Every structure is written in C-alpha cells, then in structure tokens.
Amino acid sequence: MNKWTFPTQIYAGPDSLNRLTEFNNESILIICDPFLKDSPSLTYVIGLMDSKNKVTIYTDVVPDPPITHVVKGIEFMEGIKPSVIIAIGGGSCIDMSKGIAYFGRKLKHMDIKSFIAVPTTSGTGSEVTSFAVLTDSETQIKYPLVDDAVLPDEALLTPLFVKTSPPSVTAFSGMDVLVHALEAYVATAANNFTDALAQQAIELVFEYLPKCHKPTATEHDRMSMHEASCLAGLSFNKAGVGIVHAMAHQLGGQFHVPHGLANSMLLPYVIGFNCSHNPAVAKKYAHLSAKLGFAGHNASEVDKLAALIEAIVTLQHTLDCPMNLTAFGVDKAVSETKLDLMADRALEDMCYRFNPYPANHDDLIGLYKKVL
C-alpha cells in the first residue's frame, strides 16, 4: 500500500516571501549561511518581519554540517527560545537547521510553532525531504537523520537568493537535482507517482540548467530550476536514490568534493552499471531517453541508453564540471588508498539499499576507479 502525503506547505514564486509578513509577536530565529549576513537579500527578508516580531540571526553554518555544530545551534537557541525557525541557505544550512529544530523539539521540548526552509540553491530538495545528513568531524562519516519530524513545516521557493548564485554553485547543485531525479526514477521504491515527479524534474533540468549557468539567466529560468529541485526532492523522498549518492557521500567525506559534483562524476558510470545488471532499469531509462528526444522511439535500446548518457556528459561539459577526482585536484595515489574504506562505507550508507541492483564491494571499487 502506498500512502501519499506532502506535509510541507510549499509557496512558490517571486512573491512567496510575503508569507513571512503574516507573523506577529513571534520570536523568530533565522539560521543562514554566513555570507548572507548583511546582504541586501537578507536585509529585505528581515524587513518583512522585524517591525512586528523579535528577529535573531545565527550564521555559524559550515558545509557538511558537523554534529557539534548542531549542538552549538541548540545551545544558542535555548537562550532565545524561538517560536519560529527560518533556515535560509543551501543544503548544509537546511540540514543543520533540521537537526537543530528536530532535537530542540524532541530533547529540549521547545515550543517551535513553525520551521520554514528557504533554499538559496536549486539542488538538494532538502526543503521537502524527511532526512538530514550530519557529519562526525573526527571520523568524516556522514550520518543520516531520518524521520518525518525533520520535514520543514513550510518551504518558500523564491528566486531572490538564486539570482546571484555563482556559475559553479548553479552547476553542481543543478547536477544534484538531475541525479536525485534519475536515481529516484529507477529506485526500488519508485512508483507511478514518484516517476511523474522525477520525469518533470529531469525535463526541467535539461532545459533550464544550461540557461541558469549563463549570466543571461532570467527569473523564469531560475524559478524553473528551483521547482525542478523541489519536484526531485518530493520524488526521491518517497522512492529513494541509490549508489550514486551512497558513493558520493564518501567522496565528500574524504576529499570535500561538493556533493552535487561528486554525484555528477559518478552518474554516467552508475547508469551504465545498473542498466547492464537489471533489464528493467535499462528498459525504463531507454524509454525516458526517447521521451526526452535524445533518441528516436524506433532506435534500439542500446542506442537510446547511449544517447541518454551522451546527453548527461554533454551537460556536464557545458557546465564546466570536473569529470573526475584528478581534475578536481585530488592526487590519484591518495584517492587510491581510500578505495576500500569508501566502498565499505558506501555499502553501509542508507541510500545503497534503494539501488535497483545490489552492487557488491568489488563493484563499487570498480566504479570508484572510473572517477579517479
């Protein structure tokens, strides 16, 4: 039996931030990426609320949020006892805020009426997913926090913050959207509902991500990618992802490769691997390739799959994505010493179990070697 609910209320569009004007007499904690502090965009957001509420800013946010930073955030929050938490940032900021809000409610019994996510990148879909990834700084192991209780109560999709995203951030986060959708499309828990969300996200990415990477990107282009990110998040939150993510988490943990870029490096090889081991996956991806116009409907399955992978690689080159760890700046001899460790940890990653083929340790080693 499939149960379908989307608990997070989604406000989308240039005027979505007007939702914040409805708060009155609240203690509001804004958790945001440090570079947003004193920015005109953040000043605008604060101006929507500060005349009728007490607004506090917290900016101790770092990439791959460590568990220790979540603890520090909770300690800070205890001093102001917010009734509303607003996370404004990328995936790391939103994930850290999820941990702060979750444990604040669960362990500290704080009366947080509303937890709102405002994504500033079109990538993670974290604003509508029921898990967060936190890092143990000592071991560099990433731990998932999985619970519907970490879902934001509301998500505000606004083009305000993504208008100024650097090209590399746009590229890597956008490839993250594509991987979310392509993995969800063949994940073990996929169904017709998640497929519909994933397909639309994939279509939007191929059309709008190259446009968003250019300085001529319009507000419509940016908003379309923002919506693609959210659609992909809704899809994989129910369907799962797969070994691209399980393996990418280790590249991020060991070599600090941006998550979307790590996903991008692995994607073409994992698609080929899964297709070669699962005929149903090959058939599904071939159908998608034809539907997107990458190959003719009468083309062979092999040609359709080749066309899909070629389209992905072409997109990566268009976005100036490094295609392997060496191109990113990691010494090959160093990365080789981590292969067994990364493969072992990828097998333990929560994303692994949704992959449509149960890849083993040697399979993962082989895939990692392709991106050294």
Contacts of 233 (CB under 8 A, 6+ apart): 124, 125, 126, 127, 128, 129, 180
The span from the CA of 10 to the CA of 16, in Å, is 9
Portions of the chain given CATH number 3.40.50.1970:
9-162
CATH code for the domain defined by 9-162 = 3.40.50.1970
Q: What is the DSSP string of 11-32?
A: EESTTGGGGGGG--S-EEEEEE
- Are 205 and 174 in contact, with CB atoms under 8 Å apart? yes
Helix-strand-coil split of the chain, %, nearest 5: 60, 10, 30
Mean pLDDT, the chain, rounded, equals 94
- Are 55 and 46 in contact, with CB atoms under 8 Å apart? yes
The whole-number pLDDT of residue 269 equals 98
Backbone torsions φ then ψ of 3, nearest 5 degrees: -105, 130
Closest CA relative to residue 130, chosen from 103, 99, 108:
99
Contacts of 44 (CB under 8 A, 6+ apart): 17, 160
CA contacts within 13 A on the Cβ side of 324 = 12
The whole-number pLDDT of residue 46 equals 96
**Average confidence (pLDDT) over 169-186:** 97
Express as a percent the part of the chain with pLDDT over 70: 99
Q: What residue type is assigned to position 220 of the chain?
A: H
Other C-beta atoms within 10 Å of 188: how many?
13
The whole-number pLDDT of residue 132 equals 86
Torsion, CA 287, CA 293, CA 296, CA 297, rounded to 10: 40
pLDDT band at 282; cut points 50, 70, 90: very high
The span from the CA of 325 to the CA of 4, in Å, is 39
Handedness of CA 80, 81, 87, 91 (dihedral sign): positive
Q: What is the pLDDT of residues 231-247, one digit of tens each?
A: 999 999 999 999 999 99
Contacts of 143 (CB under 8 A, 6+ apart): 67, 133, 134, 135, 136
The whole-number pLDDT of residue 39 equals 92
CA 172 to chain centre: 10
Backbone torsions φ then ψ of 114, nearest 5 degrees: -150, 135
The span from the CA of 218 to the CA of 221, in Å, is 5
Contacts of 200 (CB under 8 A, 6+ apart): 228, 231
Contacts of 216 (CB under 8 A, 6+ apart): none
Which architecture characterizes domain 165-370 according to CATH? Up-down Bundle (1.20)
Q: What is the pLDDT of residues 94-150, one digit of tens each?
A: 999 999 999 999 888 899 999 999 999 999 899 999 988 787 777 767 677 788 999
Q: What is the pLDDT of residues 288-325, one digit of tens each?
A: 999 999 999 999 999 999 999 999 999 999 999 999 99
Other C-beta atoms within 10 Å of 180: how many?
33
Burial of 261 (0-12, 13-18, 19+ CB in 10 A): buried
Q: What residue type is assigned to position 362 of the chain?
A: D
